[in-house]
Amino acid sequence: MSKDKKVLVVGSGGREHAIVDALSRSQKVSKIWCAPGNAGIGQQAECVDIKVEDVEALAKFAKENEIDLTVVGPEAALAAGIADVFQRENLKIFGPTKKAARIESSKEFAKKIMEKYDIPTGSYRTFTDFNEALDYVKSRPLPAVIKYDGLAAGKGVVVALSYEEAEMALSDMLLDAAFGEGKVIIEEFMEGPEFSFMCVVSGERVYPLAIAQDHKRAYDGDKGPNTGGMGAYSPVPFISEEIRDEALIKVMIPAAKGLVKEGSPFVGVLYGGLILTKQGPKVIEFNARFGDPETEVVLPRLESDIYELFESAVEGWDCETRWNPEACLGVVLASEGYPGSYKKGAEIKGLDLTDGKVYHMGTRLDEDGKVLSAGGRVLMVTGMGKDLQAAHSAAMKNVKAIECPTLFHRTDIGHQAL
């Protein structure tokens, strides 16, 4: 097998660092670039200063550097039409077209697909009028699940515990157009543990990845505001193989087939944000990309070659994956104040003292080569072990090795399974 493939990864977070890290283990990959990357990614790939939305510049770079395959991380690049532009230019890309990515960018489109192809999910109604939406919410029991019908950087879903909270969310979304003019979806509240099921999808082909669970709330005990995710782990012991198979057969495969039938075949990672209800797994949301921070605990467990997996999806070939049975658990170190306002620029020390993988989510190097915080979520510190308890201990030991007074973290990642 020749190790001669050149890969471009698009993005700058922990997810992209984990993708770069997995690609660096490939027997087929000779060189990795990442646009724009971050301080940690720069140790494993050559960072290129192109923004993820500048899809024409990314295509030009891929052409000039004879990139064999581009792998897309963030939804912003998908929404900017990166896959459409690369396909137009005959460049190979792992990531869905704008049309297929509507499964994430339009909650209404996703719900219509689920309705049409009989995929289990909560019942819902769509509203554009504030008063009608509020009357509907008030006619129903709490909590009220309110979703903005579009991309909202992880802030477009509110689970309101009171009618006042629901009114505020509706006012933000419909009267103040906080995320842009649009619609909202009001959905039935579903109860049960949540889990993330990511699958590599190539048209009707679906290659399941290992199951993970994310922790959305900022503080221990699942308290505090919603965030992009404060930690994750994989595998998830309460998702048995039977439940996983049920989710694959009733959710992920019909979604992939449904997108083909709708004339929007999907190539990339289809992320099922699922909930295990008394009636079985149901869909909370679909995303059109790898989850963050789930990717940082799933890819370290992948033993087979990730380039082969990406290549198979792009070419439409069959592919098998192999997984390490060990557990991986990761803890996010975030800037104080996150998910609200926070300061950047704090020096991070001790990164060389950890013995697990530390994925950089929001960092940069200064002129002296010091690593500085550069985002809300800054690092995803992982640990592996024979079981989740061992992985948790390993991750927490690594967290302790890192010195940065302005970062905070949760101590109870994995609590539903430990």
Query: CA distances (Å), 98 to each of 45, 101, 351, in order?
Result: 27, 5, 38
Check residue 294 for interaction with ligand GLY (CB under 6 A). Answer: yes
Q: What does each C-alpha distance from 20 to 6, 35, 70, 241, 328 come to in angstroms?
A: 12, 11, 11, 29, 18
Tell me the residue number closest to ligand GLY, measured at CB: 291
Q: What CA–CA distance (Å, rounded) separates 284 from 338?
A: 24
**Site for ligand GLY (CB under 6 A): which residue of 287, 312, 335, 363?**
287
Choice from 16, 172, 262, 292 touching ligand GLY (CB under 6 A): 292
Site membership for ligand GLY, residue 272 (CB under 6 A): no
CA 398/CA 401 separation, integer angstroms: 5
Nearer to ligand GLY, 59 or 288 (CB): 288
**Rounded (10°) CA dihedral 38, 225, 235, 283:** -110
> What does the CA dihedral 83, 87, 93, 96 come to, rounded to 10 degrees?
40
If the CB atoms of residues 29 and 218 are measured against ligand GLY, the closer one turns out to be: 218
CB closer to ligand GLY, 172 vs 292: 292
Alpha-helix runs per DSSP H in 175-229: none
Count of residues in contact with ligand GLY, rule CB under 6 A? 6
At its nearest, how many Å lie between ligand GLY and the CB of residue 156?
11
Q: How far apart are CA 375 and CA 249, in angstroms?
A: 38
Residues 221-260 that bind ligand GLY (CB under 6 A): 229
For residues 72 and 46, the answer to whether their CB atoms sit within 8 Å is no
| Residue 75 CB, nearest approach to ligand GLY (Å) | 9
Q: Shortest distance, CB of residue 232 to ligand GLY, whole angstroms?
A: 7
Question: How many whole angstroms separate alpha carbon 5 and alpha carbon 71?
Answer: 13
Residue 292 or 311 having the CB closest to ligand GLY: 292
Choices 20-28, 122-130, 176-184, 284-292; region in contact with ligand GLY by CB under 6 A = 284-292
Query: How far, in Å, CA of 305 to CA of 177, rounded?
Result: 44
Residue 267: closest CA among 94, 80, 101? 94
Smallest distance, Å, CB 109 to ligand GLY?
Answer: 17
Token pair 């909270």 in the structure block, residue: 165
Build a one-symbol-per-residue string for 192-221: x at contacts with ligand GLY by CB under 6 A, - elsewhere: ----------------------x-------
Q: Is residue 339 near ligand GLY by the rule CB under 6 A?
A: no
Pick the stretch among 141-149, 261-269, 287-295, 347-355 that binds ligand GLY (CB under 6 A): 287-295
Q: Which stretch binds ligand GLY (CB under 6 A): 50-58, 121-129, 258-266, 288-296?
A: 288-296
Interface residues toward ligand GLY, by CB under 6 A: 214, 229, 287, 291-292, 294
